[in-house]
Amino acid sequence: MSTLKRVTYRSYGTPNAAGRPPPSIHRIEAEDGVILRALEWKGNEGIAFQLLHGANGNATMWQMLADAFPDRRVISSDHRGYGDTDGPPGTCTSEWHVRDTESIRRALNIGKPVLIGFSGGAVDSIHYAATHPGAISALVMIDPPMFAPPPKEAMDFFARARTEFSDIDDYVDAARAGPLMRDIGLTAARLYATYVMRPGEDGVWRRLLLPHTQKEWNDSLGKLDVWGFAAEVRVPTLVVRAGAAPFLPQEVAERLVTRLRDGRLAVIERSSHSVPFHDPDALHAAIRDFVEDIESNTGLQQEPVGF
């Protein structure tokens, strides 16, 4: 069983974080001994949120969402090989992300959270929901890929994507030229870069992930039966579609919502794939309406995990 290794030994924040206090950092031992980093923003109202980032992110990228729900407990974590979490080769897969999500849920006594995943993390979230019935109260998938064939534009962009940059603006220029962050404002793009990039001693800026991580994750996602997962989800589910992104076409999003037992669709009309930074206000409003509806109409409340 996973154990809590160290709790709240320091706080994390960035100069851009505003609103509620910065989160506590937890170090949690996974099933295979890898130490996972999880961030916790304290709160005591409503169902807790557990957050899974996408393929270019890490646990810190959720600060704005945490600020938008100041009274709610919010927990985010690094996937293996991202941020401040190790990723032994061969373990940076959706299967291990699902196991780590459960390790964190149990170690931090989160109860039955609203599980929120973005991009590849959204695919991990439906993987978790389908294989852990009864573990969550609701599911939110933010612009999930894999439900439609990957667009050629995106695949070409990934194939020539750089991993090193002279500074933040060099990264921002490259990112805004591709389908992930097209038309996103400079301020938001620079904010995102502060969460996912760091300069090395040589002055070169690099993304906070290990070299093998993204390929292993993508390869594992491509093997999943995502439509089969959708049929197995038993909790209310919000699908958030980025209206200006190529990953989840409208007709596919509508089919997905129909496939779910209790599916709802929110479209952020002018947003690129990076919804949490391109149009955070619209995203937070969609999540708030969804969660308030299920809390008021179903009587769902936060429950502790039993061991």
pLDDT per position as a tens digit, 261-293: 999 999 999 999 999 999 999 999 999 999 999
CA 12 to chain centre: 18
Residue 173 inside a domain? The answer is: no
Is 153 a residue whose pLDDT tops 50?
yes
The mean pLDDT of the chain is 89
Mean pLDDT of 144-150: 92
Residue 216's Cβ-side half-sphere holds a number of Cα atoms within 13 Å equal to 20
Residue 194 inside a domain? The answer is: no
Is 236 a residue whose pLDDT tops 50?
yes
pLDDT of residue 6: 29
pLDDT in tens, 195-221: 988 998 999 999 999 999 999 999 999
pLDDT band at 23 (very low <50, low <70, confident <90, very high): very high
Residue 159 inside a domain? The answer is: no
Distance CA 183, CA 293 (A): 32
Residue 183 inside a domain? The answer is: no
Q: What CATH number is given to the structural domain containing 33?
A: 3.40.50.1820
> What is the total count of domains within the chain?
1
Residue 272 inside a domain? The answer is: yes
pLDDT of residue 158: 77
> What is the span of the domain harbouring residue 283?
4-151+213-298
Residue 208 inside a domain? The answer is: no
User: 154-160 — which CB contacts under 8 Å span 24+ positions?
Assistant: 154/178, 154/179, 154/180, 154/246, 154/247
Residue 73 inside a domain? The answer is: yes
